[in-house]
């Protein structure tokens, strides 16, 4: 007697091999059998006629560290078929903390999770944070990375300078403890202070600790526009000198004059692979990125954290200097949109372009952006159309590429429904299947599923996930390849996809008939 039998499916098993007709049985949280199970007994039989059964999707790049504590149902991800999220990306994880760094981390993390200020924040060590999430329950599996920002803030605050030897040693010790607690690796966010204030030697020193534990180095590299190639080279250098696996975050080339550079950048990674450096990247299927509105402000102004930034922006001479630097970058304000702001006085501008906001406020778009940062005390987020569709398709189709949303587990209700966020939070994986497989034939179905399952599991070292084989974890998604559709849009992003019919996590059905069952069978995974 099996718990569940999926019958008459086209199994796309995550290996990249051709799909095939088969039944799949699940028992006690595991895949129990694959084959002809027409006469097998089961508590429930699920018809897969005309449907694809694939391993649950693994989102290689997320920022659900705090959203999963605000709402453990993981609504916007689990309904896409995502059964595992990699958290702690871009150096932005919320642990480890010190009593001193906790306040700044809590203040600066608001844009990553609306409602996070209401959390207890009663953890210090990385393992305590993981225990908090595990005790709270979660709908999907979590692969945790420790963020370089947390390590650096704990060791030396928001100082804009090279780390002293003792401060590097302190970071190494905190990293070592976090890896002992189960972190799969470390991420850097080299455009976000204070991670941006580090040099290559500091990163290599931390990579040496990763090597001790077989950990991974995930990096939001030090620039995706004019400095793209140097930034990719630095990520590879850290991996090569530290002898660790590298994952380049949300690979892209921003700014029209940089479009096409991704081909040269992937060439760097190909040649590194030839030198036995394990380099891959993730990519999301959109031409717009998103982040804090403060990205328009030069990083030197962010020394000292939120308090330091506010002081500089409120000093007229310093603000004028900063605006001149921003203006010299030649930003396309008509392609930048405000997606969230905490200040209620400006909520009506959410979803609007900075050019329109500036017109309403009777000021330039640049002045409007700075005005909103000050008015919200740096609690505002933006979306920016800056990439080429050709580059996105190329990166998705490249053998080294995997799929990552760069989004979070949100919901169209409660605190996580605030603002007009990037549709990638709700639509990344259905969009790959709809647009890049069914409509544009950029990828075969088998290639797409492999980039969302088996390739990811292999990279992360998850031998029980990412494939449909007997004995592996029963993380499964049943979808209709002819109708799967991303419904989230840039104007109306809080929309669940359709065509994702059933999602199973560790043998428990979490999405049934497209609806959440309320079950929380996910696990906070720990390396080693």
Q: What is the spatial distance between Cα 460 and Cα 462, in angstroms, rounded to a whole number?
A: 6
Contact 470, 34 (CB under 8 A): yes
Average pLDDT in the 453-478 region?
98
Confidence of residue 174 (pLDDT cuts 50, 70, 90): very high
Mean pLDDT over the full length of the chain: 96
pLDDT at 112 over 90: no
pLDDT reported for residue 330: 86
Who contacts 356 (Cβ-Cβ below 8 Å, separation ≥6)?
none
pLDDT exceeds cutoff 90 at 28: yes
Percent pLDDT > 90 in the chain is: 96
Where is the domain boundary, 417, 437, 465? 417
Residue 246 lies in a domain: yes
Q: What is the pLDDT of residues 288-336, one digit of tens each?
A: 999 999 999 999 999 999 999 999 999 999 999 999 999 998 889 999 9
Sorting pLDDT into bands at 50, 70 and 90, what band is 113? confident
Reported as a single tens digit per residue, the pLDDT across 208-239 is 999 999 999 999 999 999 999 999 999 999 99
Task: Tell me what pLDDT residue 508 has.
Answer: 98
The answer, as to whether pTM is greater than 0.85, is: yes
> Is 501 inside a domain boundary?
no
Checking if the pLDDT of 424 tops 90, the result is yes
Does residue 525 register a pLDDT over 90? yes
* Domain's final residue, options 370, 385, 400: 385
On whether both 214 and 357 belong to a single domain, the answer is: no
In the block, residue with structure tokens 């007997």: 470
Residue 182 falls within a domain, yes or no?
Answer: yes
Residue ending a domain, among 385, 408, 429, is 385
In this structure, are 124 and 151 located in the same domain? yes
Runs of H (alpha helix) within 157-227: 165-180, 200-213
Residues 369 and 405 both lie in one domain: no
> Are 267 and 309 within one domain?
no
Per-residue pLDDT, averaged over 238-242, amounts to 98
| Per-residue pLDDT at 448 exceeds 90 | yes
Looking up residue 99, the CATH number of its domain turns out to be 3.20.20.140
Residue 416's pLDDT is 96
Do 132 and 244 have their domain in common?
yes
Same-domain check for residues 309 and 194: no
- Whether residues 400 and 258 share a domain: the answer is yes
How far is it, in rounded angstroms, from Cα 147 to Cα 194?
Answer: 11
Domain that holds residue 83: 57-287+387-417
CA dist 90 and 493 (Å) reads 23
Find all residues with CB under 8 Å of 283, minimum gap 6, and list them.
250, 251, 252, 392, 395, 396, 401, 402, 403, 404
Q: Do residues 397 and 375 share a domain?
A: no
Asked if the structure places residue 371 within a domain, the reply is: yes
Residue 467 has pLDDT above 80, yes or no: yes
CA–CA distances in Å: residue 339 to residues 181, 346, 354, 381, 500: 35, 11, 10, 6, 27
Output the pLDDT for position 470.
Answer: 97
Do residues 68 and 87 lie in contact, with contact meaning Cβ atoms separated by under 8 Å?
yes
Asked whether residue 202 falls in the same domain as residue 142, the answer is yes
The answer to whether residue 5 is domain-embedded is no
Token pair for residue 506? 């560790």
Section 40-62 average pLDDT: 97
Q: Is 413 part of any domain?
A: yes
Give a yes or no: residue 304 inside a domain. Answer: yes
Between the alpha carbon of residue 309 and those of residues 141, 207, 218, the distances in Å are 36, 30, 27
For residue range 376-417, what is the model confidence (pLDDT) as tens digits?
999 999 999 999 999 999 999 999 999 999 999 999 999 999
Model pLDDT, residue 120: 87
pLDDT of residue 528: 76
User: Is the same domain home to 311 and 227?
Assistant: no
Q: Give 280-331 as a 3 state SS string.
A: EEEECCCCEEEEEHHHHCCHHHHCCHHHHHHHHHCCHHHHHHHHHHHHHCCC
Whether 501 and 51 have beta carbons less than 8 Å apart is answered as: yes
103 and 160 both lie in a single domain: yes
Cα dist from 256 to 380, 422, 428, 448, 495, whole Å: 25, 21, 23, 27, 30
Number of domains in the chain: 2
Residue 22 lies in a domain: no
Q: Looking at residue 65, what is its pLDDT?
A: 97
Assign 439 a pLDDT band (cuts: 50, 70, 90).
very high
Chain centroid to Cα 394, Å, comes to 20
In a shared domain, residues 96 and 221:
yes
**Residue 108: is its pLDDT beyond 90?**
no
């Amino acid at each position: 007697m099996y718990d569940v039998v999926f019958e008459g499916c086209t199994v796309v098993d995550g290996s990249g091999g051709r799909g095939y007709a088969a039944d799949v049985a699940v028992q006690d949280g595991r895949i129990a059998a694959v084959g002809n199970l027409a006469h097998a007994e089961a508590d429930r039989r699920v018809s897969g006629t005309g449907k694809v059964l694939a391993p649950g999707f693994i989102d290689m790049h997320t920022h659900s560290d705090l959203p999963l504590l605000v709402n453990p149902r993981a609504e916007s991800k689990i309904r896409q078929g995502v059964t595992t999220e990699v958290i702690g990306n871009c150096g932005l994880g919320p642990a480890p903390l010190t009593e001193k760094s906790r306040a700044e981390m809590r203040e600066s993390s608001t844009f990553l999770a609306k409602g996070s200020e209401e959390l207890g924040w009663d953890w210090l060590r990385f393992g305590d944070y993981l225990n908090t999430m595990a005790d709270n329950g979660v709908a999907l599996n979590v692969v945790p990375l420790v963020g370089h920002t947390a390590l650096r803030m704990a060791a030396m605050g928001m100082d804009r300078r090279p780390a002293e030897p003792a401060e590097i040693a302190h970071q190494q010790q905190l990293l070592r403890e976090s890896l002992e607690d189960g972190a799969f690796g470390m991420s850097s966010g080299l455009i976000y202070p204070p991670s941006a204030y580090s040099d290559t030697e500091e990163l290599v020193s931390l990579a040496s600790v990763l090597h001790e534990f077989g950990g991974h180095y995930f990096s939001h590299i030090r620039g995706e526009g004019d400095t793209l190639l140097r930034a990719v080279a630095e990520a590879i250098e850290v991996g090569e000198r530290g002898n660790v696996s590298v994952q380049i975050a949300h690979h892209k080339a921003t700014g029209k004059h940089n479009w096409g550079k991704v081909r040269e950048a992937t060439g760097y990674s190909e040649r590194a692979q030839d030198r036995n450096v394990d380099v891959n990247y993730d990519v999301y299927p959109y031409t717009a990125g998103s982040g804090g509105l403060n990205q328009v402000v030069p990083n030197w102004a962010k020394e000292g954290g939120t308090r330091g930034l506010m002081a500089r922006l409120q000093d007229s001479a310093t603000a004028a200097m900063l605006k001149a630097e921003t203006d010299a970058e030649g930003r396309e304000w008509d392609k930048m949109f405000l997606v969230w702001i905490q200040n209620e006085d400006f909520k009506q501008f959410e979803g609007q372009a900075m050019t329109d906001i500036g017109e309403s406020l009777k000021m330039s778009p640049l002045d409007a952006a700075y005005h909103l940062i000050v008015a919200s005390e740096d609690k505002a987020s933006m979306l920016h159309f800056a990439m080429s569709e050709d580059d996105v398709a190329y990166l998705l189709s490249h053998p080294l590429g995997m799929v990552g949303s760069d989004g979070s587990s949100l919901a169209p209700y409660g605190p996580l429904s605030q603002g007009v966020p990037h549709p990638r939070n709700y639509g990344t994986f259905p969009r790959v299947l709809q647009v890049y497989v069914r409509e544009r034939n950029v990828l075969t179905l088998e290639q797409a599923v492999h980039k969302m399952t088996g390739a990811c599991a292999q990279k992360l070292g998850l031998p029980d996930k990412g494939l449909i084989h007997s004995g592996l974890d029963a993380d499964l998604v049943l979808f209709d390849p002819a109708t799967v559709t991303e419904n989230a849009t840039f104007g109306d992003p809080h929309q669940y996809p359709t065509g994702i019919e059933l999602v199973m996590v560790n043998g428990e059905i979490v999405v049934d008939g497209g609806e959440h069952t309320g079950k929380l069978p996910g696990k906070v995974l720990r390396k080693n």
